[in-house]
Amino acid sequence: MKSNITGWKEVYSFTLSQVLKSKAYLISYFLLVLIVLVSMPVTSKLLFNNAEDENAPSPVNTIYINNMTSLTDIDFEDIKNIDSFSHIEFKTMNSDYDSLVERISDKEKSSAILDIREENGAYNLHLSMVKEGPINRSQLQRLGDAILSEFTSTRMELLGVSGEQLVLLQTPIVSKVTMTDISQDAIVDENTAISFSEYWFVYGILFFVLMANMLTGTQVATSIVTEKSTRVVEYLLITVKPLALMIGKVFAMMTAALIQMLSMVLALFVSNKISATYSPDSNSLLSQLLPSDLFGNINITNMFLCIILVFLGLLFYAVLAGLAGATVSRLEELNEGLTLFTLSSLVGVYIGLGAASALMGSGVNAFVVFAFLFPFSSPFVLPGAILVGKASLLLTGIAIVLQLVFIVLLFIFVSRVYETLILHNGNTIKIKQLFQISKNSKSVPGTSPR
């Protein structure tokens, strides 16, 4: 085995240095990092530049109330206790609705009409304004919210409900059904479902791993086909064994992809920090969009486990891509050759996505556990699940062991077929032929080096 991989370090360092020097890599690297770097400050600026000061006086000066309900004593004077609405004058509508609308449209563009009706056992509050007036939709919405709140309070007061009673009435009710065993100890069913934010967090990590995986896989396959089509491989094979060539390449491409991805993560953090300068309350964009308890499970152990899982996943798929690359002879046939790699990745991604959705809907179930353990899907979904605290250490350990077993099996298979494939020139090798080669690599129909 030692002599089979002798020289992989030289292959690794040469491949990595050439990839890092290549224009395509450098351009895509700087472009992606730049996009990530400016994305959050720009988003923050767009979000918060248009945000209005909630304490600024509302542009509404007068509200005409058309109360058509039985609650005749209702008034909205308490709204004036809010600074931004203190100047608003509430008037009962005396004229007919149409002539009032006409008057507001012509002369009183800073006025609004509040129409209150009682229909089908429900109260209907309709606040309307002139379309071309100084009041925009968000300002009117804020006013509407205040009016609704005031209406609810006043209605309760009119019904004899005190403020304290109202608070009690509005207290949320959390229900929990438990079973007890014979000793009367409660058997608590732990809620393992994830929130909507956590789902997007898991999805984000899945997408991130998918990107790194596709980047590494296609680069490994392209590099191998290039060496085959340019015949460089013949010169390499007099010094290094095919397995050493592939290992060197796989690790080099993984390193290049990881440098790119980690730089993007770093740029994301920097970008998030910069975004705070555009926020009125100096909070970063992520801290405003994501719940604060989302990052509770991000610690060194979990990060370490995630890195191992992602690394093993990339390794698994990169070896698969290397195998796929060796089955074709020309670059234009690469897409056909990559079918096995693409299909496996898609299966892994879709199982991962399904598991993330199931995790949000019903928590950890048999399918989710399968997705966590299945080596095709575990690199995509398990890192996210670990970071939101939904994967136990035991489950993670088993997933890592299974991943290692799959990688070893794949390596054994690859080492049996790669030597024949690497010199093959001709039609794309089919999966059936691959298994034939693994049985007897010395004589398989249709696989000749020339």
- Say whether 118 sits in a helix, a strand or coil: strand
Pair 111, 63: CB distance under 8 Å? yes
Which helix (H) or strand (E) segment is 360 a member of? helix 339-362
The distance of closest approach from Cβ of residue 415 to other proteins in the complex, given in angstroms and rounded to an integer, is 12
Q: Indicate the residue among 232 and 262 with the shorter CB distance to other proteins.
A: 232
Helix axis angle for 242-275 and 300-326, nearest 10°, is: 130
Q: Indicate the residue among 4 and 43 with the shorter CB distance to other proteins.
A: 4
The distance of closest approach from Cβ of residue 211 to other proteins in the complex, given in angstroms and rounded to an integer, is 25
Q: Number of C-alpha atoms within 13 angstroms, CB side, residue 362?
A: 8
The distance of closest approach from Cβ of residue 413 to other proteins in the complex, given in angstroms and rounded to an integer, is 16
The distance of closest approach from Cβ of residue 437 to other proteins in the complex, given in angstroms and rounded to an integer, is 11
Q: Indicate the residue among 271 and 447 with the shorter CB distance to other proteins.
A: 447
The helix/strand count (H/E) of the chain reads as: 17, 6
**89-105 as b/e, with b when 16 or more CB fall inside 10 Å?**
eeeebeeeeeebeeebe
Q: Indicate the residue among 235 and 269 with the shorter CB distance to other proteins.
A: 235
The distance of closest approach from Cβ of residue 1 to other proteins in the complex, given in angstroms and rounded to an integer, is 12
Residue 314: closest CA among 409, 391, 378: 378
Q: Indicate the residue among 279 and 447 with the shorter CB distance to other proteins.
A: 447
Q: Where are the alpha helices (DSSP H) in 50-136?
A: 97-106
Q: Indicate the residue among 204 and 449 with the shorter CB distance to other proteins.
A: 449
Phi, psi of 128 (to 5 degrees): -125, 160
The distance of closest approach from Cβ of residue 225 to other proteins in the complex, given in angstroms and rounded to an integer, is 13
With tokens 């009409």, the residue in question is 113
Cβ burial of 142 (10 Å; 0-12, 13-18, 19+) is: middle
Question: Which residues of the shown chain bind other proteins in the complex (CB under 8 A)?
Answer: 3, 6-7, 10-11, 14, 17-18, 22, 226-227, 230-241, 419-420, 423, 441-450
Q: Indicate the residue among 138 and 448 with the shorter CB distance to other proteins.
A: 448
The distance of closest approach from Cβ of residue 443 to other proteins in the complex, given in angstroms and rounded to an integer, is 4
CA–CA gap between residue 90 and residue 72 (Å, rounded)? 14
- The DSSP code for 126 is E
Q: Where are the alpha helices (DSSP H) in 107-162?
A: 137-158
End-to-end Cα, the chain, rounded Å = 28
Pair 217, 318: CB distance under 8 Å? yes
The distance of closest approach from Cβ of residue 10 to other proteins in the complex, given in angstroms and rounded to an integer, is 5
The distance of closest approach from Cβ of residue 31 to other proteins in the complex, given in angstroms and rounded to an integer, is 20
Q: Indicate the residue among 10 and 333 with the shorter CB distance to other proteins.
A: 10
**234-243 as b/e, with b when 16 or more CB fall inside 10 Å?**
eebbeebbbb
Q: What contacts 105, CB < 8 A, 6 or more positions away? A: 130
The distance of closest approach from Cβ of residue 243 to other proteins in the complex, given in angstroms and rounded to an integer, is 12
Q: Indicate the residue among 149 and 239 with the shorter CB distance to other proteins.
A: 239
Q: Residue 363 has which token pair?
A: 């928590």
Q: Indicate the residue among 18 and 299 with the shorter CB distance to other proteins.
A: 18
Pair 435, 422: CB distance under 8 Å? no
